[in-house]
Amino acid sequence: MTKNLVIVESPAKAKTIEGFLGKEYTVKSSYGHVRDLNKNTLSVNIEKDFEPEYEISDDKKALVAELKKLSNQAQTIWLASDEDREGESISWHLYEALDLKNKDTKRIVFHEITKTAILNAIENPRTIDMDLVAAQQARRVLDRLVGYELSPLLWKKVKPSLSAGRVQSVAVRLIVEREEEIKNFQQTSSYRVTAQFSFIQNGQEHTIAAEMPTRFDTEKEARAFVESCIDANYKVENIEKKPASRYPAPPFTTSTLQQEAARKLGFSVANTMRLAQQLYESGKITYMRTDSVNLSSLALGMAKKEITENYGAEYVKTRQYQTKTKGAQEAHEAIRPTYLDQHTIKGTADERRLYELIWKRTIASQMADAQLERTNVNIGISSSDKKFTATGEVILFDGFLKVYMESYDDDRAEDKMSVLPPIEVGMNLDLEKMEAQQRYTRHPLRYTEASLVKKMEELGIGRPSTYAPTISTIQKREYVTRGDIPGVTQTFNVITLKNNKITEKTGKENYGAEKGKLLPTDIGVLVNRFLLQYFENIIDYNFTANVEKEFDQISEGQRAWNKMIKDFYGVFHKQVVSTTENSGKFSGEKLLGVDPATGKNVYVKVGRFGPVAQIGDTESEEKPRFAGLRKDQSIDSITLEEVLKLFEFPRILGQFEDKEVSVSVGRFGPYVKHNNTFYSLAKTDNPATIDIERAIEIIGEKRQKDVENTILTFENDPEMKVLNGRFGPYVSYKKKNYRIAKDVDPKSLTYDDCLKLVEADPKAAPKKAAPKRKTTTKKK
DNA sequence: CAGTGAGCGAGCTTCCGCTTGACTT
C-alpha cells in the first residue's frame, strides 16, 4: 500500500528522488508525455473551437494502467514534472488519464535534484496551472495544423512523403539560403603587408613579426608601396601596454554542449546526445536536455572546493550566469557532472572524453578571469607615413585557462599568444623581409550540424529535446545531406622585398574546402522555394518568436488559447486552400535544351522519385523517357551533355557465364545486372566507365557475401532460405521475410519448420513494407 | 545497404516536444 505516489518525467530522476523521500513515498516516471494527438488523423476538431482529440499513446498504455493502479491505492498523488509549459501539460494529462481527484492531487516543482529542494517542494504544493497548460495546447495544436496541412500539400504539389513544419522548414531554409549566399558571393582581394624585423640586444639577435593595418586594393598600389620601402629605415615609435582579461564561458546547455563536442571531439549532434544520455542514466551528469546555464548552490559549493584544492583559492570566482537565449524555459540546471570531485570516470573512451569536457567546462565557469598584458608596438617607416604594428600577449595570471578554453567554428587562432622580444622605444630595426600578399575575401561558412543548432537556438526555434531529431528529419526527408566540399585551387601574388631587392611570384592555395557540412539537395531547394512563395509567413525567421509571445500571453491568462489559434488558422487555412486550387505541380522543371538524336526537348525536374531528367514532352503522344539523376548531380548545375549520358544506360558490358552483364542507374544508385540479379556498385565505381572485369569482380564479391550470410538452403525448394540479416537470422521465402523466434537455433530448422513460419505469418493481408514505427490503431 | 530497380488505376506518407527501451523483415 503506497501512501504517496510521486510522478516525475524521467526514470533516472525517479530513482534519485526515491532515495531522498523514504518509504512512505513511491516515485514513478511518466517517461515524458503520456497522451498526444492521434498520429494518423488531424485530431483537432476545427468546428468545435479547435478541441484537441487526445489519446493515450500506444507505448504508454501499459504504463498508464500501472500508474492508475498505484494512484488508486495512494492517498496523495504528487505530480512532479518539470516547471515549464510542457511539464505542466504532462501533469495535466496525467491528471486526466489517471482520473485523479483534485483533493488528493498536488502539483510540485523543483529545479535541482537535492534532498532539501525536494522536501521544500513537498512543503509548498500548488495546483495545476491551467493557463500554462492552455499555452502548451496552443503550441501543440498550432504545430499539428501547420504540419498536417502543409505536408499533404507538398505530397500533392511536389512529391509524396515530404514534410513541412514550423521548425524543420526554417532549418532547411537556413541551409538553402546559406548556399545561395555562397553562390552569390563576390570574391575580392587585397594585399596584406607583413614584415619581419631584427635587432641585436646585448649581443643577441631577436626577430619580431609585424603587420600593416592598412591594405592595398590592387597589385599596383601594393607594389608601389613595397618599392617605396627600398632603402628605408625602420624605428620603434611607441610601445603601449594594456591589461586585458578573459572570461570563462558559461556552463553547458544542450546546444553549447553539442557545439563544443563537435568542435573539440568531432562528435555528431546525435552521438553527443546518446553519450550524454548514457552519462545521465548512470548518474554521472545532470540532465542533458536543458536550456539553462544555472548551477545549483550545491554545485557552486562543490566547484569552489574542487578548485581551491586543486589550483588554490586565488583561482576561485563563483559566478551565476544569466541565460541570453530567447524563450529559454530553464526547467533544469545546466549540464554538469553530478559530483565535481570526479575528474574522470569509467566508461567507453567517448563517454570519458565527453565527461571530461563537461567537467572542465563546469569547473572553468567557476574560476577566476585570466589576466593578460597586451603590447602594441608601432614601427615607423622613414619613407612613408604608414606604420607597422606588432602585438604580443603575455598571460599574467592564467585563471580559468588552466583548465579549459572554448573553441570557435571559424579558423580564428585560438591560442596565438606571442611574447615580444625585449624591445624599446627609439630602437632601429633591420628589415629581414617584407611581403605584400594577395588575400581573398572568404564566403560565409556552410552550416555544420552543431552550428545549425546554434543558429536555431538564436532564432528560438526548436527545443533542447528536438535539436538532434530535427537534424535527422531534414536529412531523412532528403532536404539536406552531409558532405564535403573539395574547394578550388586559387593563385595569389606575393611581392617580396629582401636585401633591398623586389621579387614577385605567385603561390597556390586551396580555397573553400569544407568538411562534414550540411548541403541542400534539389528537393530541399524546391520545397523551400514552394514554401517561400506560398507560405512565407510560416517560414519567416520571426514566426516562432512571434507565436511564442502569444503563448506567453496565454500562459499569463491574458488570452484564450483557441482564440489565438482561430486568428492564426483563419489566415493560414485560406492560404492552404488557395494554394491547393491555384497552383499547379511544383516540380522545378527546367528546359535544358534539345536532344540532338531525336530533336525532342530535354528537361530536368523533381519527379515522384526525386531529381529526374526527361526527354520528350509529357503531353506528347509518345511517352517521354526518364533517367534519374545521380546523387552527385543537381538540377541546378547539370549540363545537357551530362543528362544525355544518363540515357546511355543500360550499358551492355559483355557476357559472363553465358549471360549478359549490363550496368545501369536506378533508384538506389548504379548497379550491375546479371541473370536477373542486381549488384550495387561501390561508391568508388563510375557506371559510365566501369568495365566487364570490374563488374564480374562485383558479382563475385556479392556472391561471397551471400554465402557468408546464408545459414541454410533446401534442395527441394530453392526459394526457401535461412539467412543472416541486420536483425539476426530470418527466413526468406518467395521474396518475403519472416522472423525466427529468439530461442530457436536457426541451424536446427527443417524445411517444414520454415514452411510453418511462413504460414503462421500473422500479416496474411498483402501489406507492403511494414511501417518503421508502430502505427496507432484508431477504431471508429 | 539485406532487401527494392519505376516514372503510377491504390494506399500511404506528415507536425513538435516530452521521455526511453523495444525489437523490427
Give A401-460 pLDDT, tens digit per residue. Answer: 999 988 887 655 444 667 899 999 999 999 999 999 999 999 999 999 999 999 999 999
Summarised one tens digit per residue, pLDDT across range A740-752 is: 777 777 778 888 8
Q: How confident is the model at residue A630 (pLDDT cuts 50, 70, 90)?
A: confident
Q: How confident is the model at residue A766 (pLDDT cuts 50, 70, 90)?
A: very low
Greater confidence (A84 vs A676) lies with A84
Q: A330 CA to B12 C1', in Å? A: 39
Q: Say if residues A538 and A573 touch (Cβ distance below 8 Å).
A: no
B13 C1' closest Cα residue: A161
Three cell numbers at A216? 592595398
Counting residues of chain A whose pLDDT is more than 70, the rounded percentage is 94
Indicate the average pLDDT of chain A: 91
Residue A224, amino acid:
A
Greater confidence (A315 vs A607) lies with A315
Report which secondary-structure segment, H or E, holds A652. Answer: strand A651-656
Instruction: Summarize the confidence of residues A727-739 as an average pLDDT.
Output: 72
Residues 632-691 of chain A with CB under 7 A from strand B are 665-671, 678, 680
List of E strands, A162-319: 189-201, 204-211, 234-246
User: Which are the contacts of A107, defined by CB distance < 8 A and separation ≥ 6?
Assistant: A78, A79, A80, A91, A125, A126, A127, A128, A129
Assess whether the previous peptide bond of A650 is cis (omega < 30° from 0). Answer: yes
Q: Say if residues A674 and A713 touch (Cβ distance below 8 Å).
A: no
pLDDT, residue A773, reads 34
Q: Can you tell me which residue has the cell 573553441?
A: A407
Q: How confident is the model at residue A538 (pLDDT cuts 50, 70, 90)?
A: very high
Residues 66-105 of chain A with CB under 7 A from strand B are 82, 84-86, 90
User: Which are the contacts of A330, defined by CB distance < 8 A and separation ≥ 6?
Assistant: A84, A111, A290, A291, A292, A294, A323
Q: Can you tell me which residue has the cell 500539400?
A: A153
Residue A318 buriedness (CB in 10 A; 0-12 / 13-18 / 19+) = middle
Report which secondary-structure segment, H or E, holds A758. Answer: helix A751-759
- Whether the pLDDT of residue A767 is over 50: the answer is no
3-class DSSP state of A600: coil
- Whether the pLDDT of residue A733 is over 80: the answer is no
- Whether the pLDDT of residue A764 is over 60: the answer is no
Instruction: Summarize the confidence of residues A473-498 as an average pLDDT.
Output: 95
Strands A4-8 and A25-29: parallel
Of A289-293, A364-368, A462-466, A613-617, which gets the smallest average pLDDT? A613-617
For residue A39, give the nucleotide whose C1' atom is nearest its CA. B14
pLDDT, residue A408, reads 80
User: Which are the contacts of A560, defined by CB distance < 8 A and separation ≥ 6?
Assistant: A134, A554
Distance CA A109, CA A107 (A): 7
Of A151-155, A190-194, A427-431, A605-609, which gets the smallest average pLDDT? A605-609
- Whether the pLDDT of residue A48 is over 80: the answer is yes
Summarised one tens digit per residue, pLDDT across range A156-214 is: 999 999 999 999 999 999 999 999 999 999 999 999 999 999 999 889 999 999 999 99
Instruction: Summarize the confidence of residues A132-145 as an average pLDDT.
Output: 98
Residue A415's alpha-carbon distances to A320, A353, A418, in angstroms, are 27, 21, 9
- Whether the pLDDT of residue A398 is over 70: the answer is yes
Q: A666 CA to B4 C1', in Å? A: 10
Q: A11 CA to B21 C1', in Å? A: 12
Q: How confident is the model at residue A768 (pLDDT cuts 50, 70, 90)?
A: very low
Residue A315, amino acid:
Y
Find, among A624, A705, A631, the residue nearest to A668 by Cα.
Answer: A631
Summarised one tens digit per residue, pLDDT across range A324-342 is: 888 888 889 999 999 999 9
User: Which are the contacts of A34, defined by CB distance < 8 A and separation ≥ 6?
Assistant: A56, A57, A60, A63, A64, A90, A93, A94, A97
For residue A40, give the nucleotide whose C1' atom is nearest its CA. B14
Q: How confident is the model at residue A707 (pLDDT cuts 50, 70, 90)?
A: confident
Q: Say if residues A4 and A74 touch (Cβ distance below 8 Å).
A: yes
Q: How confident is the model at residue A772 (pLDDT cuts 50, 70, 90)?
A: very low
Report which secondary-structure segment, H or E, holds A470. Answer: helix A467-476
pLDDT, residue A317, reads 98
- What percentage of chain A's residues is helix, strand, coil (to nearest 5)? 35, 25, 40
Q: Say if residues A67 and A9 touch (Cβ distance below 8 Å).
A: no
Residue A773's alpha-carbon distances to A59, A500, A727, in angstroms, are 11, 75, 16
Greater confidence (A315 vs A664) lies with A315
pLDDT, residue A726, reads 64
Distance CA A470, CA A261 (A): 18
Q: A620 CA to B9 C1', in Å? A: 21
Catalytic residue chosen out of the listed positions A25, A54, A287, A315? A287
- Whether the pLDDT of residue A29 is over 50: the answer is yes
Question: What are the backbone dihedrals phi and psi of residue A274, each rounded to the nearest 5 degrees, phi first?
Answer: -65, -45
Distance CA A120, CA A258 (A): 33
Three cell numbers at A303? 566547484
Q: How confident is the model at residue A357 (pLDDT cuts 50, 70, 90)?
A: very high
Q: Which of A155-159, A629-633, A685-689 has the highest mean pLDDT?
A: A155-159
Distance CA A147, CA A138 (A): 14
Neighbours of A439 (CB within 10 A): 14
Q: Can you tell me which residue has the cell 553530478?
A: A338
Q: What is the pTM of this model?
A: 0.88
- Is the CB of A282 within 7 Å of strand B? no
Query: Length of chain A in residues, anyone?
Result: 780
Distance CA A169, CA A533 (A): 13
Of A230-234, A409-413, A751-755, which gets the smallest average pLDDT? A409-413
Q: Say if residues A485 and A513 touch (Cβ distance below 8 Å).
A: yes
Q: Say if residues A147 and A164 touch (Cβ distance below 8 Å).
A: yes
Q: Which of A420-424, A725-729, A771-775 has the highest mean pLDDT?
A: A420-424
Q: Distance between the two ends of chain A, CA-based, in angstroms?
A: 38
- Whether the pLDDT of residue A523 is over 90: the answer is yes
Q: A759 CA to B10 C1', in Å? A: 26
Q: Which of A346-360, A671-685, A721-735 has the highest mean pLDDT?
A: A346-360
Greater confidence (A718 vs A599) lies with A599
Instruction: Summarize the confidence of residues A110-126 as an average pLDDT.
Output: 92
Residue A116's alpha-carbon distances to A285, A297, A298, A338, A551, in angstroms, are 19, 11, 10, 16, 32
Q: Is A311 a catalytic residue?
A: no
